[in-house]
Amino acid sequence: MFDLHTHTYFSDGVLGPAELARRCQTRGYRGLVIADHVDHSNVEEVIGRTVKFCEAVAGHYGQMAILPGCEVTHVPPPLIGEIILLARELGAAVALVHGETLVEPVAEGTNRAAIEAGCDALAHPGLIAPEDVALAAEKGVLLEISGRKGHSLTNGHVARLARRHGALLSFGSDGHTPGDYPDREMAEAVCRGAGLTAEEVEQVFRNNSSFFSASAG
């Protein structure tokens, strides 16, 4: 179980990073990405604190590794590319972008701008356009199957278009509270609920594992 999308109280989660890590460890996780929300007002602070934590605890959670990341959130589309570059310069190993979910007023064009900028994964991309899915496939951008209430409403749409265009899918809990972090069995059930076959579900978690390993390297 590798979760590419979690939050702490560095943004709008309720857990400190140590408690988040311990809870995920006890649920059998092998890796998690701490991807708190960032924009131009807090990117230096959030990534700096996340990197500091990850470096301090490296090797202290058994077989589970933790990577510092971020979720670029509600940033105007023309500015997404520059903040992804800044986040990586600051030490983010994984750069997610908060996609055009149905349940928040995300600016139109965010999905396209995030993919064009080469984000690592587009979180909960909502009713993403077919041409954007095709571009994600071309650029190797992961499209998230979301475990979060509300954001998960369009998982089936994302899964169908990813299959059609050959885009890579990932799973992210988008966890904010103690009960938000599923074990592998529950995460697989969410993927099956999106209409994925058993083989496709396995591929999602191979994608997570491969991406995590590459990012850690």
Q: Domains of the chain by range and CATH?
A: 2-216 (3.20.20.140)
Are the beta carbons of 57 and 43 closer than 8 angstroms?
Answer: no
pLDDT of residue 52 exceeding 90? yes
Please give the sequence-ordered ranges of beta strands (E in DSSP) within 119-164, or none if there are none.
121-123, 142-146
Supply angle C-alpha 113, 117, 123, rounded to 5.
Answer: 65
State whether residue 121 is helix, strand or coil: strand
pLDDT tens, position by position, 165-208: 999 999 999 999 999 999 999 999 999 999 999 999 999 999 99
pLDDT at res. 156: 98
pLDDT tier, 29 (very low <50, low <70, confident <90, very high otherwise): very high
Q: Summarize the confidence of residues 10-15 as an average pLDDT.
A: 98
Count Cβ atoms below 10 Å from residue 90 Cβ, excluding itself: 18
pLDDT at res. 61: 97
Q: What does the DSSP 8-state code read for residue 39?
A: -
* Structure tokens that stand for 188 in this block: 């697989």
pLDDT tier, 217 (very low <50, low <70, confident <90, very high otherwise): confident
Are the beta carbons of 87 and 39 closer than 8 angstroms?
Answer: no
pLDDT of residue 93 exceeding 90? yes
Supply angle C-alpha 176, 71, 192, rounded to 5.
Answer: 65
pLDDT tens, position by position, 120-130: 999 999 999 99
